[in-house]
Amino acid sequence: MVAELEPVETRPSLRERTRIVIFEADTPAGRAFDVALFSLILGSVIAVMMESVAAVRAAHGPWLRATEWVVTALFTVEYGVRLWCVREPFRYARSFFGVVDLLAILPTYLSLVLPGSQSLLTIRALRLLRIFRVLKLSHFLGDANLLLSALRSGRRKVLVFLGTLLVLALILGSAMHLVEGPTHGFTSIPRSVYWAIVTMTTVGYGDITPQTLPGQILAAGIMILGYSIIAVPTGIFTAEIVAQWRRPVSTRTCPACLTEGHDPKARYCKDCGAPLTGE
Amino acid sequence: MVAELEPVETRPSLRERTRIVIFEADTPAGRAFDVALFSLILGSVIAVMMESVAAVRAAHGPWLRATEWVVTALFTVEYGVRLWCVREPFRYARSFFGVVDLLAILPTYLSLVLPGSQSLLTIRALRLLRIFRVLKLSHFLGDANLLLSALRSGRRKVLVFLGTLLVLALILGSAMHLVEGPTHGFTSIPRSVYWAIVTMTTVGYGDITPQTLPGQILAAGIMILGYSIIAVPTGIFTAEIVAQWRRPVSTRTCPACLTEGHDPKARYCKDCGAPLTGE
Amino acid sequence: MVAELEPVETRPSLRERTRIVIFEADTPAGRAFDVALFSLILGSVIAVMMESVAAVRAAHGPWLRATEWVVTALFTVEYGVRLWCVREPFRYARSFFGVVDLLAILPTYLSLVLPGSQSLLTIRALRLLRIFRVLKLSHFLGDANLLLSALRSGRRKVLVFLGTLLVLALILGSAMHLVEGPTHGFTSIPRSVYWAIVTMTTVGYGDITPQTLPGQILAAGIMILGYSIIAVPTGIFTAEIVAQWRRPVSTRTCPACLTEGHDPKARYCKDCGAPLTGE
Amino acid sequence: MVAELEPVETRPSLRERTRIVIFEADTPAGRAFDVALFSLILGSVIAVMMESVAAVRAAHGPWLRATEWVVTALFTVEYGVRLWCVREPFRYARSFFGVVDLLAILPTYLSLVLPGSQSLLTIRALRLLRIFRVLKLSHFLGDANLLLSALRSGRRKVLVFLGTLLVLALILGSAMHLVEGPTHGFTSIPRSVYWAIVTMTTVGYGDITPQTLPGQILAAGIMILGYSIIAVPTGIFTAEIVAQWRRPVSTRTCPACLTEGHDPKARYCKDCGAPLTGE
């Protein structure tokens, strides 16, 4: 109801306009930039993958290497422009996508010193995660945030679970090393622990398998154990998501003591006894 | 309580009667048609499967090919009749089952030009999904719809999850390509990414396995990661189903005491005994 | 409040006493019978398993065969006594454990006609499920019933899910048959469908694996699909168990119209308006 | 508000001070002790693992054996000191970590009599679980307890599930032994049951695979069964965790209006504003 004094609209500086194109996705120019960037990343990741295939490298090697250098040059310029136009360059450089943007160009330069390290260029694929900004962004970001916050709030429980899983794999792997012995592929404890993890996660390559009856009985027990404890992360995560979805608490604030978290049906503040209003 | 004026029952046209037989499953004729159609589809799918077995093809090849052509002719006629008798032919042709009905006959004709393409005839199996109409249909359709709507409302979350899974597979596969190298089966990045997906989904064929200690340590980490993130789709879907099941309480208010929260089928107020209206 | 006339306690007949020993687990004699029976079943199952090992059969074959016949004779007598002492023999004979008790003796007699069919004797293992009666029975039976009723009420949804899974396996297996062709192990559609099921359930034997790049891409898609839809039965079952645990409905019955399912806090019948009593 | 009479602070005995360092993790000395102990355990577990690798044992065997004896001596002294300084030695000796502490030193002494038994030393890894005490302990212990209590209250249901799983594996494995026969790797019932467990848990090594069509059809059924019943432990555990999280509302009643269902920390009635007492 109160008329606000609008600031005089001045034409923003070049730096500000660049920032909006690069970092915002809502303007037509920003959206076009994001789509172009996404295509470039996707193309360069596919080029890196193709170059690793011996037959393709033999036929198109120089051309693919040239593409790689062109894309790296473009990304280097883009990284510089991002640092220049953003308001807080250090904060961007330390953010998740800031680090990814840097990692996406380093391997090409590194490959001058260490040949073969251009395989690391697929780390550029992490930049593809920006696509969630291009597609109907708010919804996708909301869903990604919901999943992330469910993962984060279940983090400690998952750490307890993983620690226990590793200790179990260590002990059960050693037991198999004793029971089966080196003649059946369980040549050392590290290799037996690797086998235990392959088995408990139900991956089951079959490159190492128990051959004796006691070994097979122990292995069957390990499988059933692994099959059962798959329930633990699932249960933790499901319960976290269900918990994220329940918002039963009223958003009202007590007008007297400013306490929050009242029952939706409460009529008096549970903390100071003052009558609640609204809702 | 008000006597309604019933329309004079006229004998429906042939087209209308055909439509009821083909598209409705509640009349005896419609049910018989559905059962006959289901048997025909099942038989033709089994015939296509049998024809692909070399020994069976050698012994009964011509007979099976003839069956295929007879069934295709019948299905072509049926498709034409469906188009003729349905009220909105274009809507049917663009619907899920309309497209399936067309795809179920095309491969036979295609095999005249492209030998071997009759393997595509197993797409007829999609027509088998009509069985849910034949069996106690309302219940099954209700359950199918519940599952579909849970899947649909969790769709965006699943897309975020799958995108992240693919990017992880890309990066972890490339890392294994670097660590293990081409001599241990990780001959190229695409092949290493294929291995990463085989491992993260806990399928674990064992056609490519890490041989070095660093590779096995990295692989163990990838397995535990894959084993843990199986929790994500499960959690999303479970939470969606639980959310679908929370039966909404009636929004009616008692006209006498204004109490809310009545059972949707209640006829009297549970709190003061006054009769409820509406709904 | 009304004193009931107690029937004069007469000594029960032999048939009745036998029935109590065999079918009830709460008396000392009944418990001893159950423990003895359980040991006998366990021993006979182990004997059948041992007999199938070539080395053991060579050494102890006749002795194991004799054991089998003795146990079968005992079980035949037990089955006869059960039929004699139970009040409704036909109902017992048609019940789950009645059928199991009969199946547990038939294979031995069958092996006179069909040598080798004594492997079927492990069906005796189903009798081991009686152990839940011997252990603190009410708790275990309650838990088993909870699981069974969750499975039963999710039955239709699981059927819809399995039907869709099979149709998907059929179509995706046929597609792999086309893409990979018979030279890479996908020799026929039935075999390719078997491969698709092995892959979608994340079992992944590795006896058949895709060798070409298009085949590996399609296979990766099938794996991720299978990995994702593992969420469906889990979600259905979890939601069913959670639903079984919520018992928010009052057990009161309306004294006027005998309607059930009232809200625990309701004071008047929601169906006829009569005041509710009790609770 | 009432001034409490503080007991005269006397310097605690050496035994008491030792106890605080060893068993408490909140003092600087206690934390330093825990960190040192953790490093020692981790180092010794790695040494045991390394010793089992043939190449490492050939190069550094004597040095690793010496390390093992030094660590065992240190742990033996530590175990003695723990027994000496704890207030109830027998209770500690019978506790989980008391038994683990003893088991962590026995294998070295045992290896004097039974060479090779030092592989059992990886049981020391169980001592690593103490790390949850060193890290922000109360949170981690709370999470571990939550998981443990969810596991414990679902214990009986899981036993019913595992019993049924084993009986199913027994019967289905025997059926495969009949169907496939010894020529395709299903040489005996125990081996076929091992295969059934490998398949039902979706591990799928591929060391034994069905070769005939009937065997592959039966195997596909077993896979889908196993894939579906993975839902059972997941469902049980998820429902248990969800149940553990339902925060119990306070049982206090408002002294003025007798309303119930107050927040456990509420100080005033949410319905009439009267102060709450108790709790």
> What average pLDDT score do residues C111-116 get?
75
**Digit-coded pLDDT (tens) for B134-179:** 555 555 556 666 667 766 776 777 777 788 888 889 889 888 888 8
Tell me, what's the pLDDT at C250? 47
Q: Which residue of D has its CA nearest to C133?
A: D160
Chain B: give the shortest CA distance to residue A162, in Å: 8
Contact present, A26 and B151 (Cβ < 8 Å):
no
Strand partners for A268:
A275
Query: CA-to-CA distance for A15 and A87, rounded, in angstroms?
Result: 10
- Is a pLDDT exceeding 50 seen at residue D116? yes
Half-sphere exposure of B28 (CA within 13 A, CB side): 0
Query: CA-to-CA distance for D131 and D97, rounded, in angstroms?
Result: 12
What's the alpha-carbon Rg for chain B, to the nearest Å?
28
Residue with token string 């001045």: A10
Q: Which residue of A has its CA nearest to C207?
A: A206
Tell me, what's the pLDDT at D261? 58
* C264 interfaces chain D, CB cutoff of 8 Å: no
**Digit-coded pLDDT (tens) for B192-233:** 999 999 999 888 888 889 988 889 999 999 998 888 777 777
Q: Which of A98-112, C80-94, C196-210 has the highest mean pLDDT?
A: C196-210
Collapsing DSSP to helix, strand or coil, B278 comes out as coil
- Is a pLDDT exceeding 90 seen at residue D260? no
Q: Report the candidate in B139, A158, A242, D247 with the shortest Cα–Cα distance to residue C242.
A: A242
Q: Which residue of D has its CA nearest to B206?
A: D205
Chain D: give the shortest CA distance to residue B236, in Å: 13
Q: Do B162 and C269 touch (CB under 8 A)?
A: no
Q: Which of C127-131, C253-257, D94-98 has the highest mean pLDDT?
A: D94-98
- DSSP assignment string, chain A: -PPP-PPP-PPPPHHHHHHHHHH--SSHHHHHHHHHHHHHHHHHHHHHHHHTSHHHHHHHHHHHHHHHHHHHHHHHHHHHHHHHHSS-HHHHHHSHHHHHHHHTTHHHHHHHHSTTGGGGGGGGGGGGGGHHHHSSHHHHHHHHHHHHHHHHHTHHHHHHHHHHHHHHHHHHHHHHHHHH-GGGT--SHHHHHHHHHHHHTT----SS---SHHHHHHHHHHHHHHHHHTHHHHHHHHHHHHHHH---S-----TTT------TT-SB-TTT-PBP---
C-beta atoms surrounding D98 within 10 Å: 18
The chains in contact with chain C, meaning 3 or more Cβ pairs closer than 8 Å, are A, B, D
Tokens of C210: 């895709």
Pick from A203, A209, A222, A246 the residue to mutate for testing the B interface (most B CBs within 10 Å). Answer: A203
Nearest to A204 among C204, C234, C238 (CB): C204
How many angstroms separate the Cα of B69 from the Cα of each of A110, B64, B108, B121, D143?
62, 9, 7, 11, 65
Residue with token string 């172009």: A36
Those residues with Cβ within 8 angstroms of residue D170's Cβ, 6 or more apart along the chain or in another chain: C45, C122, C125, D193, D196
Q: Do A204 and B209 touch (CB under 8 A)?
A: no
- DSSP assignment string, B83-134: HHHSS-HHHHHHSHHHHHHHHTTHHHHHHHHSTTGGGGGGGGGGGGGGHHHH
**Digit-coded pLDDT (tens) for C141-185:** 566 666 677 667 767 777 777 888 888 898 898 888 888 878 888
How far the first Cα of chain A sits from its last, in Å, is 22
Return the higher-pLDDT residue of B247 and A217. A217
Collapsing DSSP to helix, strand or coil, D268 comes out as strand
Chain C: give the shortest CA distance to residue B214, in Å: 24
Tell me, what's the pLDDT at A194? 92
Q: Do C156 and B139 touch (CB under 8 A)?
A: yes
C-beta atoms surrounding C177 within 10 Å: 26
Query: CA-to-CA distance for D80 and D72, rounded, in angstroms?
Result: 12
Query: CA-to-CA distance for B159 and B248, rounded, in angstroms?
Result: 28
Return the higher-pLDDT residue of A74 and C258. A74
- Is a pLDDT exceeding 80 seen at residue D217? yes
Q: Do A205 and C205 touch (CB under 8 A)?
A: no
- Maximum alpha-carbon separation in chain D: 86
- Is a pLDDT exceeding 60 seen at residue C249? no
* C13 interfaces chain A, CB cutoff of 8 Å: no
How many angstroms separate the Cα of B233 from the Cα of each of A117, B158, B194, C201, D166?
34, 7, 21, 15, 28
Positive or negative, the Cα torsion across B94, B96, B97, B100? positive
Q: Do A202 and C202 touch (CB under 8 A)?
A: yes
Tokens of B125: 């199996």
* C205 interfaces chain B, CB cutoff of 8 Å: yes
Nearest to C125 among D156, D167, D205 (CB): D167
How many residues belong to chain B? Answer: 279
Instruction: Tell me the residue type at D229.
Output: I
- DSSP assignment string, D31-87: HHHHHHHHHHHHHHHHHHHHHTSHHHHHHHHHHHHHHHHHHHHHHHHHHHHHHHHSS
Chain B: give the shortest CA distance to residue A91, in Å: 24
- Is a pLDDT exceeding 70 seen at residue C196? yes
Query: HEC states along C176-197?
Result: HHHHHCHHHCCCCHHHHHHHHH
Query: CA-to-CA distance for B193 and A49, rounded, in angstroms?
Result: 9
Q: What is the mean pLDDT of each run of 10 residues along chain A (279 residues)?
A: 52 79 76 84 85 84 85 89 84 82 83 73 73 58 66 72 86 87 85 92 88 90 85 78 58 63 61 63
pLDDT interval class at C279 (50, 70, 90) = very low
- Is a pLDDT exceeding 60 seen at residue B87? yes
* C90 interfaces chain A, CB cutoff of 8 Å: no
> What average pLDDT score do residues B24-51 get?
82
Distance of CA D131 to the CA centre of its chain: 12
- Is a pLDDT exceeding 90 seen at residue D196? yes
Tell me, what's the pLDDT at C101? 84
Query: CA-to-CA distance for C200 and B111, rounded, in angstroms?
Result: 29
Return the higher-pLDDT residue of B76 and D113. B76
Residue with token string 């018989």: B32
Q: Residue A234: list chain C partners with CB under 8 A.
A: 234
* B238 interfaces chain D, CB cutoff of 8 Å: yes
Query: CA-to-CA distance for C242 and C237, rounded, in angstroms?
Result: 9
Interface ipTM: 0.77
* C240 interfaces chain D, CB cutoff of 8 Å: yes
Q: Do C197 and D220 touch (CB under 8 A)?
A: yes
Query: CA-to-CA distance for D80 and D83, rounded, in angstroms?
Result: 5
* B46 interfaces chain D, CB cutoff of 8 Å: no
- Is a pLDDT exceeding 70 seen at residue D93? yes
- Is a pLDDT exceeding 60 seen at residue C261? no
Mean of all residue pLDDT scores within chain D: 77
pLDDT interval class at D1 (50, 70, 90) = very low
Collapsing DSSP to helix, strand or coil, D275 comes out as strand
Nearest to C238 among A202, A206, A238 (CB): A238
How far the first Cα of chain C sits from its last, in Å, is 19
Q: Which of B256-260, B275-279, C233-237, D76-80 has the highest mean pLDDT?
A: D76-80
Strand partners for D268:
D275
Query: CA-to-CA distance for B9 and A132, rounded, in angstroms?
Result: 58
- Is a pLDDT exceeding 80 seen at residue C2? no
Q: Which of A152-156, B22-26, C24-28, D176-180 has the highest mean pLDDT?
A: D176-180
> What average pLDDT score do residues C218-225 get?
91
Collapsing DSSP to helix, strand or coil, C275 comes out as strand
Q: Do C233 and D231 touch (CB under 8 A)?
A: yes
Tell me, what's the pLDDT at C248? 45
pLDDT interval class at D91 (50, 70, 90) = confident
Residues B155-158: contacts with CB under 8 Å, at least 24 apart: B156/A139, B156/A140, B156/A143, B157/A143, B157/A146, B157/A147, B157/B236, B158/B233, B158/B236, B158/C228
* C64 interfaces chain D, CB cutoff of 8 Å: no
Chain B stretch 112-141, residues whose beta carbon is closer than 8 A to a beta carbon of chain A:
none
CA dihedral C32, C37, C38, C43 (to 10 degrees): 130
Tell me, what's the pLDDT at A263? 56
- Is a pLDDT exceeding 80 seen at residue C256? no
How far the first Cα of chain B sits from its last, in Å, is 17
Tell me, what's the pLDDT at A249? 45
Return the higher-pLDDT residue of C27 and C146. C27
Q: Do B206 and A202 touch (CB under 8 A)?
A: no
- DSSP assignment string, A63-76: HHHHHHHHHHHHHH
- Is a pLDDT exceeding 80 seen at residue D197? yes
Percent of chain B residues topping a pLDDT of 90 = 7
> What average pLDDT score do residues C259-272 get?
62
Query: CA-to-CA distance for C13 and B53, rounded, in angstroms?
Result: 66
Return the higher-pLDDT residue of B211 and B235. B211
